Structure 1
Amino acid sequence: MKFQGTDSYVATEDLQLAVNAAVTLQRPLLIKGEPGTGKTLLAEQVAESLGMPLIQWHIKSTTKAQQGLYEYDAVSRLRDSQLGDDKVHDIGNYIKKGKMWEAFDADKQVVLLIDEVDKADIEFPNDLLVELDKMEFFVYETGETIKAKHRPIIIITSNNEKELPDAFLRRCFFHFINFPDHDTMRRIVDVHYPNIQQDLVNEALELFFDVRSIPGLKKKPSTSELIDWLKLLMADDIPNEILKNHDNSKAIPPLYGALLKNEQDVHMLERLAFMHRREQRN
């Protein structure tokens, strides 16, 4: 089976090749790209396309690698021992399986998503090197070794918030999702809104890419924000002419809150509008 995208996910040829190469090599697929370019969604669609269950491990700044394997609740065991509970004699009652254990223990091959790995401490990726290589780990409390019944397809996403260790990178197949061009973005829009007016799409895309091209924006609007913006434009029944005849002296597009996410960028567009009006007066 090969990944070729799905009806609800537009995968470029390069992205399809990357997914299938990682599967063939049996290496984790490390996906980088701007926020909102569909990195997390990719894992969901790979699982759907290949007919596999999806296990998601969303990483936070406080996440430790050990949590992906298992956690031992010593406090609960101590409390139960004080209460005379018989289950304290089986330490397995206090072992909580992590997402990697779930993936290793699955009866069929699964897709394991390790989402936003760069949010965690810099040592987090290094702490998983052995487990990713050997597809096994040791549970010290029970003395058992957990081996993967079926090697999972591992997809790891990163927003480039911090550099990842070289030793970790060597074990991955890497792909960077480039921001979609006009044609690809149109295909993405068609997937989400197959019945949308094409005139609205044309004008919205022109305005969207114009905003993205403004130098100095702190956060350029992403694909997911374009999709939200179009939904609002359709819901409010914004006429195409408002976008087509957008007044540059106003600069900020209608319903801009779906596209611009901080006051610095709003102020920047307002300054550009002021400069444009002053040039027109001169």
Structure 2
Amino acid sequence: MRFEGTGSYIADKDLMVAVNAAIALERPLLVKGEPGTGKTELAIQVAEALGLDLIQWHVKSTTRAQQGLYEYDAVSRLRDSQLGDDRFNDINNYIRRGKLWEAFAAEKKTVLLIDEIDKADIEFPNDLLQELDKMEFHVYETGETVKARQRPIVIITSNNEKELPDAFLRRCFFHYIRFPQPDTLARIVEVHYPGIKQRLVSEALKQFYEIREVPGLKKKPSTSEALDWIRLLVADDVAPEDLRGDAKNALPKLHGALLKNEQDVHLFERLAFMARRQG
């Protein structure tokens, strides 16, 4: 069982090595990188390439580790007991399986995505240490122990918003997805928009990387934003020669696809003003 990329996902050699190493070691693969570099999409493509079902657990700031195992609805059971509902007699009616339980109970191997783990509380990763390590957990309400029938391939993503605990990191295989080089990003564009005008792509990517290098930029545009921007340029039939070659001289065309906060827009406006004065 080896991952070698897919036709719709450009994976470099180091990323494929990381995925296959995590599979061989049977350890979670922790993937970090700038937002928009394809971390979440990686899990989707690994599942597709290996012919496995994908179970996705999208973590929020309010997510608790226990929710990934199961949740016991004591309030509903109390209400049913007061109403004389027969469901009250079976506690299993009030236990809702979480994403880890789904992955553990699956008869076939699955890919389990734990997406943006750094959004949750700092203790969240530690609360999953034993479950991800031993691939089992105890259900206190019923007294049963849930063990994984097939060890899932676990892919965990992080945007590096919080430092993850050392004990958790020791149990993972780590890979950082670097921002793609221009030739790699050009291949990604070609995959998404086959047959696109190469002159337009070349000029657009030149300006895109110049924008990313502007000093003081609060949020650098990501891969997904580059794809959106190029799509808009094609839709508006913008000619390559109409794109400004120097990102410091003016706001780029359709800049709303690239600059996502007012500070960066003001930065480009100031640069444009200074460039006009010097001119």
TM-score range, shorter chain: over 0.9
Query: What SS does structure 1 have at the residue aligned with 2:137?
Result: strand
Unaligned 5+ runs, structure 2: none
Distance (Å, rounded) in 1 between the aligned partners of 2:138 and 2:185: 46
Q: Which residue does the alignment assign to 1:113?
A: 113
Distance (Å, rounded) in 2 between the aligned partners of 1:34 and 1:247: 21
Matched, 1:43 2:43: yes
Q: Which residue does the alignment assign to 2:270?
A: 271
Q: Which residue does the alignment assign to 1:125?
A: 125
How far 1:246 sits from its partner (Å)? Answer: 6.6
Distance (Å, rounded) in 1 between the aligned partners of 2:203 and 2:217: 21
Distance (Å, rounded) in 1 between the aligned partners of 2:151 and 2:247: 56
Conserved 8 A contact 2:210-2:247: no
Q: Which residue does the alignment assign to 2:27?
A: 27
Equivalent residue runs for 1:89-238 within 5 Å:
89-238=89-238
Aligned amino acid, residue 89 of structure 2? H
Conserved 8 A contact 2:221-2:259: yes
Conserved 8 A contact 1:246-1:253: no
Conserved 8 A contact 2:248-2:268: no
How far 1:245 sits from its partner (Å)? Answer: 5.9
Matched, 1:61 2:61: yes
Conserved 8 A contact 2:23-2:153: yes
Change in CA separation of 1:125 and 1:252 when aligned onto 2, cut-off 3 Å: same
Distance (Å, rounded) in 1 between the aligned partners of 2:196 and 2:93: 54
Q: TM-score, normalised by structure 1?
A: 0.97
Q: Which residue does the alignment assign to 1:4?
A: 4
Conserved 8 A contact 1:68-1:99: yes
Aligned amino acid, residue 122 of structure 2? I
Change in CA separation of 1:51 and 1:263 when aligned onto 2, cut-off 3 Å: same
Change in CA separation of 1:247 and 1:92 when aligned onto 2, cut-off 3 Å: closer
Distance (Å, rounded) in 1 between the aligned partners of 2:165 and 2:44: 26
Change in CA separation of 1:247 and 1:132 when aligned onto 2, cut-off 3 Å: closer
Distance (Å, rounded) in 2 between the aligned partners of 1:98 and 1:207: 45
Distance (Å, rounded) in 2 between the aligned partners of 1:167 and 1:158: 16
Query: What SS does structure 2 have at the residue aligned with 1:30?
Result: strand
Query: What SS does structure 1 have at the residue aligned with 2:243?
Result: helix
Q: Which residue does the alignment assign to 1:253?
A: 252
Conserved 8 A contact 2:31-2:39: yes
Unaligned 5+ runs, structure 1: none
% same residue: 72
Query: What SS does structure 1 have at the residue aligned with 2:15?
Result: helix
Distance (Å, rounded) in 2 between the aligned partners of 1:244 and 1:221: 17
How far 1:164 sits from its partner (Å)? Answer: 0.2
